[in-house]
Amino acid sequence: MTHSPIWPWVAFVLLGIYHGLNPGMGWLFAVALGMQERSRTALYSALIPIAIGHLLSVGIVVLAGALLNQLLPMNYVKWIVAAALIGFGFFRLIRSRHPRWVGMRVGFLDLSAWSFLMASAHGSGFMLLPVLLTMPAAGHSHAQHVAHLMPAGSSAEYAGAVAIHTLAYFATTAAVGLLVYEKFGLALLRSAWVNLDLIWSLALILTGMVAVLV
């Protein structure tokens, strides 16, 4: 029996950190709510539903990828995932708009739905699929995996990937949100803005190209 290599798990954590750093995927909204209510508690309360929405978005995409991988040879799945990544990346380059939410008086379900839409709009779950498809099936060597065309990964590994990714995302979102709220305030965003949407779009395209070669 061979154990899964550690690098995919590092990749899931790094992707979670990257998603958490993106102001359009959680912490900016949480900070804005905290500023609006003049309450640190409002910021804290926003973080959990935001993380849940992200978890649902990523989980659905990963589940769909896992089911597809059961039905088709892995090479076909890799091409489908690569095409989705590259296509979505070019779509975001052409039309980089976020789903809009009406008003700032939002509850738990509203925040979860907003986060779900944001993560989906950024194609977050698609970024995990190329890594998951390279993971050998549990209990099989790489040679056996290739010879018998076993589906990549196991259900436990897929669930673990989503969980560790979401934890990294949540920790990063919370840390950045609290730092901005406590130390810098929203004024920082007007003087030190980074176009993470452009970086994200290019990352989607690059990851799609790499998925074909791995």
| pLDDT on residue 192 | 56
pLDDT at 164 over 90: yes
Give the model's confidence band at 140: pLDDT under 50 very low, under 70 low, under 90 confident, else very high.
Answer: very low
CA-wise closest residue to 81 among 14, 163, 72, 150: 72
pLDDT, greater one: 28 or 74: 28
Which domain does 83 fall in, by range?
7-213
Tally of domains within the chain:
1
95 part of a folded domain: yes
| pLDDT on residue 5 | 77
| pLDDT on residue 176 | 92
| pLDDT on residue 171 | 95
pLDDT at 145 over 60: no
96 part of a folded domain: yes
pLDDT, greater one: 85 or 111: 111
Could you report the per-residue pLDDT of 117-137, keeping only the tens digit for each? 778 767 788 888 888 877 765
191 part of a folded domain: yes
72 part of a folded domain: yes
1 part of a folded domain: no
pTM of the full predicted structure? 0.67
168 part of a folded domain: yes
77 part of a folded domain: yes
99 part of a folded domain: yes
pLDDT, greater one: 69 or 22: 22
